[in-house]
Structure 1
Amino acid sequence: MSSVRSLLPVRRGPRRPRLVAALLATGLLLTGCAGAEDTADNVGSAPGGPKASGADSGAGRADSGAGRAASGGSDSGGPRSGGAESGGGRSGKPVLEAQTVEPEEIPGLGPATRAKISDETTQAVVVTGSGRESDRSTVMVHERDPVTGWQPASGVWPAHNAVRGWTDDHVQGDLRSPIGVFGLTDAGGKLPDPGSKLPYDRGPAFEATGDGVEGEPLEGSFDYVVAINYNRMAGTSPLDWTRPLGDEKGGGIWLHVDHGGPTQGCVSLPRGQMKELLRALDPRKRPVVVMGDADSLSR
């Protein structure tokens, strides 16, 4: 109050009581503003801070009530913060639509070829010939995911097929590899099982002798083999020569170790890739081989 008094001239006379009363009223007003400011900024504003008491806390409750009325009541003349406005906010949020994932197909396979792959098959060895008359191929393993579809499961491996290329009507001695989709259920070889999940028949009868079409030695070609279920009984050793379609339709078509040249009807892979393939093929995935020249497979 002393600061207020120092700014006003001191008068003498009968008006002094009225002046003092005015100054007292002014001081009370100034004190009331300071109290309201302290209540808003300090009292009870932080965790553990002192609570407002008495009239001050009552005033705080009244002020907050007035604030609520101003923000949402009819006095403000504007929309309420709750009710319709908040409901509109909820409905205004972006709605995430379900994304449809289109399953991938095996590259290079046309609808007719894909139709020959059973829905139960989730593993496919794709042998793609360079041309109808070519003895060069590439091999790649694919596996089917239930959501994303067919995905690569190996690298691209070089391979040989029959010396005269491919045919969709294989017969004994035509020196062509059969085109089609065939099961892979049985394996074997001269060497110990490298970790095959397919039944593996080991024995000396897998000895390869003689020379290949180009004069290269065949030794070691049958160290690892996987029987291709063309004109054979599934579930038996690759050495089983039963021919359900008749002997004239050929047989003994295998995936085996490459000997550096074309085959008489089989598909041959480098030794390391044959071991990798044997470890990868899983009977639970109903594996098949999809084989043929690129043009035939694209149909």
Structure 2
Amino acid sequence: MIRRRTAVALLVSPPLLTGCGGGAEATGRRPPAPTSGAAAPPGPHGIPGLGPRRSAAIPERCTQAVVVTGRGANSPLCTVVLHQRTAAGWQASPAWPAYNALRGWSAHHMIGDLRSPLGVYTLSDAGGLLPDPGSRLPYHRSGAFHSPGTGFEGEPLEGSFDYVIAIDYNRRPGTSPLDRTRPLGPKRGGGVWLHVDHGGPTHGCVSVAKAHLKDLLRTLDPGRHPVVVMGHADWLAH
């Protein structure tokens, strides 16, 4: 079943899952908490850790930005913070521990490189194996979100795709996260999602605890033009 809150064409779910292979239940192993240290100064738009180039890449109409900050260019560990713009400036939610791809980050993501794509991407669609938890984004429920197998550390992947938010990297916005359209071509990868953490690195996605992902689904509003800004800290600071 596909359920949408806005009118879009209905798509038949493909027989093979398109998302990356990583993410799990909130009750599973969690990423280590971020180490303490001095916070990076706010960028021109007031989001801490973002330099002028990354801040400028956020559309003016955007008032919700999910910032994914990796620990290093080759690290699978990151934090996720939701920033919302108000009359008083950008307001941040608490930081959530998360995972990105096994080998870190890439400015030219390719299928199978086990790196997450650096960039600023819109967030247009959501979905999952479970019923809609109250998502404001169009939500596509399908049995094709089943995630069998094990992760890089032997952890079970079951439940990883209970809820997902599609990151608009090499995909067509306004379609199910399962849609296989790849505007940049299939070699550039696809199926890059925010999904449920399973306690280990991903193939290219970003994974957070199930409760946090449900919070995002209930908060991200298409009318506020949400984006994700994702990369390791040094890249974000430029």
Identical-residue share of aligned pairs (%):
64
Name whichever structure is richer in strand by fraction.
2
Structure 2, gaps ≥5 residues long: 1-43
- 1:104 is displaced (CA, Å) by 5.7
Mapped to 1, the partners of 2:112 and 2:221 lie a distance apart of 32
Give TM-score scaled by structure 2 length.
Answer: 0.81
Paired residue secondary structure (1:296) = helix
Partner of residue 136, structure 2: 197
Alignment match of 1:151 (pick from 91, 96, 99): 91
1:128 matched to 2:69: yes
Runs of 4+ in structure 1 off by over 6 angstroms are none
SS of residue in 2 equivalent to 1:220: coil
Higher helix share: 1
1:226 to 165, 168, 177: 165
**Relative contact order, CA 8 A, sep 6+: which one is greater?**
2
Paired residues in the alignment total: 195
| Residues 205-241 of structure 1 deviation map (CA, whole Å, 9 limit, x = unaligned) | 0000111111111000000000000000000000001
**Equivalent residue for 2:31?**
none
Bigger radius of gyration: 1
1:287 aligns with 2:209: no
**Residue identity opposite 1:132 in structure 2:** A
Q: Contact conserved, 1:104 with 1:148, CA < 8 A, in 2?
A: no
- Paired position in structure 2 for 1:137: 78
Q: Is residue 104–residue 151 contact of structure 1 (8 Å, CA) maintained in 2?
A: no
User: CA shift at 1:148, angstroms?
Assistant: 2.3
CA RMSD in angstroms comes to 0.9
- Say yes or no: does 1:275 pair with 2:210: no
Aligned partner of 1:256 in structure 2 is: 195
Deviations 1:153-179 (A, max 9, x none): x21101000000011110111000000
1:208 counterpart residue number:
147
CA distance in 2, matches of 1:191, 1:293: 31
Normalised to the residue count of structure 1, the TM-score between the two structures is 0.64
Aligned equivalent of 1:237:
176
> Per-residue CA shift, 1:123-150, capped at 9, x if unaligned?
00000001111100000000112x3221
Supply the AA of the counterpart residue of 1:280: T
